[in-house]
Structure 1
Amino acid sequence: MTPAPHSTMRAAVLHGREDLRIENVACPVAGPGEVVLRVEAALTCGTDLKVFRRGYHAKMLTVDRLFGHELAGVIVELGEGVEDFAMGDRVVPLNSAPCDECFYCLAGQQNLCDDLLFNNGAYAEFVRVPARIVSKNMLRVPTAMPMEHAALVEPLACVMRGMEQCAVKAGQTVIVLGAGPIGLLFIHAASLAGLHVIAVVKRTDQVATAKSFGAEQVVRLADVEDPIAAARALTPEGRGADVVFEAVATPEAWQWAVQMVRKGGLVNLFGGPPAGTTASFDTNLLHYSDINIKASFHHTPSTARAAFELLCSGDFEADKFLTGTAELEEVPSVFNAMLTRPAEGIAPEIKTVIYPRTATERLLADEEKAVA
């Protein structure tokens, strides 16, 4: 299906706090250097959930905007001047691209670009990809790779950025605080990189999940009196982890992370708390233990490619992250359900795959492709 000129499509539009609606909107049209994709698969994301809760995102989008940013699709329209891609190509566009001209880009910090161009609209039948993303941050998907797997590139690219900043090395011991989607991506990527992973989790169901993604040991908060001591006890000689990745986004988790790392170790405060959140740290501990603290935001074109290579390697178990499916009309109910965690012991969805086309439409398309 290709969008007809001046036609409409179904898409998720965010109107405010917890106000997400599926509406008829104008189909996108490709301008110079741009492409239009038929969205084959989109994924739910913790960032999208935060935006849904708050009704806005200071950088990614504001109200009355198309919603969603993790997707893969097929090119159905080429704008003038696009030469590196063709009609029918299976691609995954990242949700941003840097200018490569500002101070931060030239300093190798493209994630902090002064003119970082964002794109949204994954939960829709079609999506327009701006020229800058087409030229700098869109990747061709191998025929053998399911589109659902390709859509994982964006969140994994953020995780790869965090690992890159910490210069992790095989054989190191890392602690990952949290076992939500990002925490599990850290656990799995770190495990595949040859690191010894200790996970600190809250829920009973997360113990088995963290282990299935590569955690060698797991601390469940309700099982211990002192999470800091329990996690440190699992590290070599009890000295603390070489690197701690915080993926919870609470002041308490930030404070724990600093106390779980070894002397001379590194803490990555990855989770993004709401604006105005503060945390306090023992300055004596930081100074005399020579602790390094970093925070990671977003991704870069190079970490997007590193993530893509990992997904293509055959080692990354993408299917295990995709625990639910829904059609486009169900997106508002999916996000409303994500606001409430299931009862203790019942594993929540990690990521739900959103299919803009119905199961029947996808089946017919597969049959047509097989005949062709």
Structure 2
Amino acid sequence: MSAVRLMEAAIRLSHRGLGRTAPNPNVGCLIVKDGMVIARGWTQPGGRPHAEAVALEIAGEAARGAELYVSLEPCAHVSARGPACADLVAASGVSAVHIAVLDPDPRTTGQGAARLRDAGIVVTVGTGEAMARAAMAGFFLRMERGRPRITLKLAMSIDGRVSMPGGESQWITGPEARAHVHLQRALADVILVGRGTLEADDPSLDVRLPGLQDRSPRPAVLSATLDAIPASAKLAARDPLLLASVDDLCGLTVNDVFVEGGPATASTLLAADLVDRMLVYRAPIVIGDGAPGAGRIGLERLSDAHGRWRLDETRTFGNDRLEVYARTR
């Protein structure tokens, strides 16, 4: 198997940690010897142990002379929670380390790779870099912009309405699209709504897919006027966060926030230019005089709206269509 294919396999392993490793990145690792994969690892829930530590423990002495493929540069800093992965890898006896992308964390950037080279290990960097960055998009954005990556989900009709005039919104999309939303929840660290959604819908904000129930992200409510989350709320038993402002949201030390709030929350985040990705689930229905997906977001001219969003992906779920947009910066 080629180095490219092996790195792609390591990166795919990293997806198993999405939404569970913050504030650490989700990393995947393979150890290969004589053309055979002898160990696999990915960052565990809570961020420790790291992917390399998991794989090396599985490989044991068989790691000597093997090659290690990892989606992110092995860390170079010692933590109270565990040793530096660069030191573990250097001591393991592997002959070569293939790194998809260097760690943007200033405590490691370049230092992990340098430490491995100093130990006489052949190090290559860059194979699968784009794929690795995409797999750790939330972590990279947090390192570069100092806040979590924020994904806004909207379920709307053809004419852009998210509810009936009286507020009824369950359900605009069909079961296939709703199942995909639950999968997206399972990949986030935090799921956010506003006070209006909390009081109108009393949402559970959990993951209700067979086998993934334990992947429910931590719930959060964004409200400048709410003093406390009611104990009677469905999400109250899951240690919810109460955020008074977008500054509180930006201060979270997590990688990915998934927003399912109503038009007011969507408007607040769009106006603050904090939405990095939008998932728009569009149902083949026309509602007419209902609530729009977002209210005023501060644009003064139509020309200001152009060039901000790039359509990255479209998919079909039953009768519904998903459009994935990325903020161009």
TM over 0.5: no
Normalising by structure 2, we get a TM-score of 0.32
Normalising by structure 1, we get a TM-score of 0.29
